[in-house]
Copies of this chain bind each other. A is one copy, B any other.
Amino acid sequence: MFTQTNEITFKLPSWISDYTKEIDTLKDINDRALFVIEASRQNILNKTGGPFAAAVFEKDSGALIALGVNLVTSQGLSTLHAEIVALEIAENKLHTYDLSGNEKIEYELVSSCEPCAMCFGAIPWSGVKRVITCAKDEDARAIGFEEGDKPKDWRISFKNRGIEVIDEVKRAEAKEVLNFYLEDGGEIYNGTKS
């Protein structure tokens, strides 16, 4: 008889609660970027996943809503990129799959790296109104990660959907973490082997 699990659970590493407990609001977007970049470094140091982190903030106030990190290798699920994890935690906390639904507050996703093809596609479904990225696509590729085939005009696609993009915020710092992962012998996983 065929059987399969009827639920999937993923867990965040325990260091996350210590890392976030003193954070409330980060008014400056540079501070938001440094916060996710440091989380990506902590994910390496704690060996809890790939070198990527992302967080959802209230766009105007800078109140932190949710922090996610890449959990692909630690949880054994290929879809658990940092952006997906952060969006799911934010939606869980706010009890809605549509973060654009609150007319008074706009939300943003801050990611330590430019989104891959999957996360590019996931962002509009979440309803966030702004995306801030740090490292570039090519910085992830430089250490061996695949980013998939995003439309070349992905920024325009976001703009057409009312999603603002600010990129290369603290890029050097984010790139340094990616390079540290490589030097540290971190696993470079990619999907389809040919």
Contacts and interface: CB of A to CB of B under 8 A. Distances in A.
Interface stretch (A37-45, A73-81, A172-180): A73-81
Given A5-B89, A100-B193, A79 B72 contact: no
A157 to B, nearest CB: 4
A117 B189 CA distance: 22
Q: Looking at chain A's contact residues, is the secondary structure mostly helix, strand, loop, or mixed?
A: loop
A26 to B, nearest CB: 11
Interface in A22-70: 22-24, 64-67
B77 A192 contact: no
A23 B4 CA distance: 12
A114 B30 CA distance: 39
Count this chain's copies in the assembly. Answer: 2
A77 B92 contact: yes
Contacts of A97: 72-73, 75-78, 189
A4 B66 contact: yes
Interface string A146-182: 1011110010010001110000000000000000000
Interface of A: 1-12, 14, 16-17, 20-24, 64-67, 72-73, 75-79, 84-85, 87-89, 91-93, 95-98, 100-101, 116-122, 124-129, 146, 148-151, 154, 157, 161-163, 189-194
